[in-house]
């Protein structure tokens, strides 16, 4: 008993705290809408009781149970009053519907923007973890829960008002039967709650399946996959994959829901039996002259209202209790800590040196040491090329330099200062970087370039220069709306779809536009034609004059422009030097270089 009481108390506490949390969010999104919705619940809570009482008065007057002198005027007055209240409640209900709709929209956007904001600031490492995606998915779903808790809490206000008022009046007929009515109405609601909780916990353990289904449905409908899907003829294969997940998922969910529906239906019979008892007692009292005929109308109306508002109140409370876990998912998502903390305060502007000192690193949650005791330095105005086989760790070096991840051991220093001491945005501001898979945006061409430095007070010439330097001026020439042309047809009929190489040129133009003191290009020419590649490396030479540049390239003829070549293999720096120095000795670099030159030389020699 004591345990049950403790459970009840903690349940009540969590209902209140969950509602309070959602109420706070509601107020943050709009104070006026929240107040309007509360006021409307008060009015609707009292209106049912008042209308039922007016009905009783009219019946009593008409049946002669209530003897008054000016019957006609009295009946007309009550009818007019009750119609007035009815119309006012109706109008208020419509206003409430409107306010609720608009408020729900505002609250949804407020919460979505909150989630997006958290996501934008999240550590890059989090994007490697399936757990993070599960949490993100649950947070997105919990937006609906906040709306639902708020709705339940506010509905509870009117339900409780109706419930208490009805209970006070019904209690006059038979207190024991009224108590019994309350008692038998509770189990079905409580059972409902325990199953709702079970269902939610079941949902929690099946988020992975739901995400997999979403993913499959995404690749079956997204343009990116459309070509391969048709070429490989894998539509049916993917549909079967989808069904294989959905089948068992649906069967289990159906079983749980069916059991709940059966039990709740069975238990809802008992309250009806109690109502029958109360109405029987009342009928006997009317026949013996202790109550009027109008009382029958009043009590039967109130009993119906009592039952529906009790159910509404309980369902609301249970819903809030149930949503507690979902709301908790939202709170949990908000509280996910970033490991790459913005610990530094120093501002960084000009970079005079970069130093990797005995740096080791493995991606969070993985065993493999991707970088092993790496040491190298880059001096101001130096052009450095990182060379190595696929998966050697070149891009990882860049990610650590930009503090997307923190090194596990060792130090990365800029201008002799540990990069953790720099304020993170000022650190990143010092780099213009082209990532290996830099995506373009479904925005205009101009926006696709200027997005890399939105605070720059740039004119059109800066954009045109960036396009020229990335060998992309011809792309602009093909665009109907010039710089204002859309780089996607997903949202604009007149948008332009670019080729893979053209996309890379735009991404490169964006990098050149940023014009920071260090230029980083990770495989800038992977998709470029030979002429564009040549021009881009000429631009790189030109633009990096008076700047520091770090680039990676698998086409080793490009390393010619580098002052220093650093060869990375299996996460370690195995050699470094100029092209000539490395070619002179039997280096790994010389082997790579010979691989690429060899085929051409052999072909020429007719071998």
Ligand X SMILES: Nc1ncnc2c1ncn2[C@@H]1O[C@H](COP(=O)(O)OP(=O)(O)OP(=O)(O)O)[C@@H](O)[C@H]1O
Q: In the complex, which residues of this chain contact ligand X (CB under 6 A)? A: 128, 363, 366, 370, 388, 390-396, 436
CB nearer to ligand X: give 236 or 367.
Answer: 367
Question: Can you tell me the distance from the alpha carbon of 37 to that of 18, in angstroms, rounded to the nearest whole number?
Answer: 18
Find the shortest distance in angstroms from Cβ 105 to ligand X: 37
CB nearer to ligand X: give 227 or 366.
Answer: 366
Q: Are 547 and 431 in contact (CB under 8 A)?
A: no
CB nearer to ligand X: give 46 or 404.
Answer: 404
Q: Are 159 and 313 in contact (CB under 8 A)?
A: yes
Tokens representing 332?
A: 């949990």
Tell which residue, 440, 441, 442, 404, has the closest CA to residue 424. 404
- Helix 175-205 to helix 269-287 angle (10° resolution) is 160
CB nearer to ligand X: give 128 or 492.
Answer: 128
CB nearer to ligand X: give 125 or 313.
Answer: 125
Find the shortest distance in angstroms from Cβ 45 to ligand X: 55
Tokens representing 533?
A: 């590649």
Question: Where are the extended beta strands (E) located within 446-528?
Answer: 518-522
CB nearer to ligand X: give 389 or 451.
Answer: 389
CB nearer to ligand X: give 392 or 509.
Answer: 392
Question: Can you tell me the distance from the alpha carbon of 525 to that of 360, in angstroms, rounded to the nearest whole number?
Answer: 29
Find the shortest distance in angstroms from Cβ 596 to ligand X: 15
- Helix 293-334 to helix 175-205 angle (10° resolution) is 30
Write out the DSSP string of 308-358. HHHHHHHHHHHHHHHHHHHHHHHHHHHTPPPSS-----B---S--EEEEEE
For 158-188, b/e burial (b = at least 16 CB within 10 A) is bbbbbbebbbebbeebbeebbebbeebbebb
Question: Where are the extended beta strands (E) located within 456-533?
Answer: 518-522
Q: Who's near 18: CB < 8 A, 6+ residues apart?
A: 149, 320, 321, 323, 324, 327
Token pair 């490989």 is found at 232
Cα atoms in the Cβ-side hemisphere of radius 13 Å centred on 492:
16
Tell which residue, 208, 51, 23, has the closest CA to residue 134. 208
CB nearer to ligand X: give 344 or 393.
Answer: 393
Question: Can you tell me the distance from the alpha carbon of 73 to that of 274, in angstroms, rounded to the nearest whole number?
Answer: 39
Find the shortest distance in angstroms from Cβ 393 to ligand X: 4
Find the shortest distance in angstroms from Cβ 407 to ligand X: 13
Find the shortest distance in angstroms from Cβ 27 to ligand X: 40
Find the shortest distance in angstroms from Cβ 568 to ligand X: 6
CB nearer to ligand X: give 394 or 446.
Answer: 394
CB nearer to ligand X: give 370 or 476.
Answer: 370
Question: Can you tell me the distance from the alpha carbon of 526 to that of 529, in angstroms, rounded to the nearest whole number?
Answer: 9
CB nearer to ligand X: give 392 or 445.
Answer: 392
Q: Are 370 and 407 in contact (CB under 8 A)?
A: no
Find the shortest distance in angstroms from Cβ 514 to ligand X: 21
Find the shortest distance in angstroms from Cβ 570 to ligand X: 9
Find the shortest distance in angstroms from Cβ 396 to ligand X: 3
Tokens representing 424?
A: 């993170």
CB nearer to ligand X: give 148 or 552.
Answer: 552
Find the shortest distance in angstroms from Cβ 388 to ligand X: 5
Find the shortest distance in angstroms from Cβ 405 to ligand X: 9
Q: Are 154 and 314 in contact (CB under 8 A)?
A: no
CB nearer to ligand X: give 326 or 394.
Answer: 394
Find the shortest distance in angstroms from Cβ 365 to ligand X: 8
Q: What is the CA radius of gyration of the chain?
A: 36
Write out the DSSP string of 284-317. HHHHTTSS-HHHHHHHHHHHHHHHHHHHHHHHHH
Question: Can you tell me the distance from the alpha carbon of 505 to that of 510, in angstroms, rounded to the nearest whole number?
Answer: 9
């Amino acid at each position: 008993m004591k345990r049950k009481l403790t459970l009840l108390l903690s349940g009540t506490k969590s209902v209140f705290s969950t509602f309070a949390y959602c109420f706070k969010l509601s107020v943050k999104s709009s104070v006026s809408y929240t107040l309007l919705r509360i006021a409307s619940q008060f009015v609707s809570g009292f209106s049912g009781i008042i209308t039922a009482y007016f009905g009783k008065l009219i019946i009593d007057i008409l049946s002669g149970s209530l003897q008054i002198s000016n019957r006609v005027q009295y009946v007309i007055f009550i009818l007019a009053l009750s119609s007035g209240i009815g119309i006012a409640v109706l109008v208020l209900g419509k206003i409430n519907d409107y306010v609720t709709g608009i408020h729900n929209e505002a609250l949804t956007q407020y919460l979505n923007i909150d989630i997006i904001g958290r996501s934008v600031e999240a550590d890059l490492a989090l994007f490697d973890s399936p757990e993070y995606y599960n949490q993100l998915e649950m947070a997105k779903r919990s937006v609906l829960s906040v709306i639902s808790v708020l709705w339940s809490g506010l509905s509870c206000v009117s339900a409780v008002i109706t419930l208490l008022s009805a209970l006070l009046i019904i209690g006059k007929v038979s207190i024991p039967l009224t108590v019994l009515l309350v008692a038998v109405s509770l189990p079905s609601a409580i059972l409902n709650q325990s199953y709702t909780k079970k269902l939610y916990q079941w949902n929690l353990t099946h988020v992975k399946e739901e995400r997999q289904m979403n993913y499959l449905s995404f690749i079956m409908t997204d343009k990116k996959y459309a070509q391969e899907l048709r070429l490989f003829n894998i539509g049916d294969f993917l549909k079967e994959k989808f069904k294989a997940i959905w089948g068992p998922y649906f069967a289990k969910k159906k079983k749980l829901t069916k059991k709940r529906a059966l039990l709740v239906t069975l238990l809802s019979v008992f309250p009806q039996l109690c109502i029958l008892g109360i109405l029987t007692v009342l009928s006997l009292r009317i026949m013996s002259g202790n109550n009027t005929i109008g009382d029958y109308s009043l009590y039967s109306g109130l009993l119906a209202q009592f039952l529906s508002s009790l159910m509404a109140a309980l369902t609301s409370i249970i819903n809030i209790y149930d949503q507690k876990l979902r709301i908790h998912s939202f709170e949990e998502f908000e509280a996910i800590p970033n490991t790459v903390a913005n610990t530094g305060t120093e501002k960084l502007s000009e970079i005079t040196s970069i130093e990797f000192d005995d740096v080791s690193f493995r991606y969070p949650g993985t065993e493999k040491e991707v970088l092993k005791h790496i040491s190298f330095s880059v001096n101001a105005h130096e052009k450095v090329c990182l060379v190595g086989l696929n998966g050697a760790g070149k891009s990882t070096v860049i990610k650590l330099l930009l503090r997307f991840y923190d090194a596990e051991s060792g130090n990365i220093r800029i201008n002799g200062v540990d990069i953790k001491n720099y304020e993170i945005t000022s650190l990143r501001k010092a780099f213009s970087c082209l990532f290996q898979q830099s995506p373009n945006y479904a925005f205009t061409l101009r926006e696709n370039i200027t997005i890399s430095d939105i605070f720059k007070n740039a004119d059109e010439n800066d954009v045109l220069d960036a396009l020229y330097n990335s060998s992309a001026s011809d792309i602009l020439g093909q665009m109907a709306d010039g710089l204002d042309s859309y780089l996607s047809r997903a949202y604009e009929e007149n948008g332009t779809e670019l080729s893979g190489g053209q996309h890379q040129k735009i991404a490169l133009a964006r990098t050149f536009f940023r014009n920071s003191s260090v230029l980083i290009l990770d495989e800038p020419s992977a998709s470029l034609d030979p002429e564009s590649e040549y021009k881009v490396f000429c631009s790189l030479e030109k633009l990096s004059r008076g700047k520091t540049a770090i680039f990676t390239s698998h086409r080793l003829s490009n390393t010619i422009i580098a002052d220093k070549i650093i060869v990375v293999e299996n996460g370690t720096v195995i050699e470094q030097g100029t092209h000539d120095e490395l070619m002179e000795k039997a280096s790994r670099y010389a082997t790579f270089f010979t691989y690429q030159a060899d085929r051409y030389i052999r072909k020429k020699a007719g071998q």
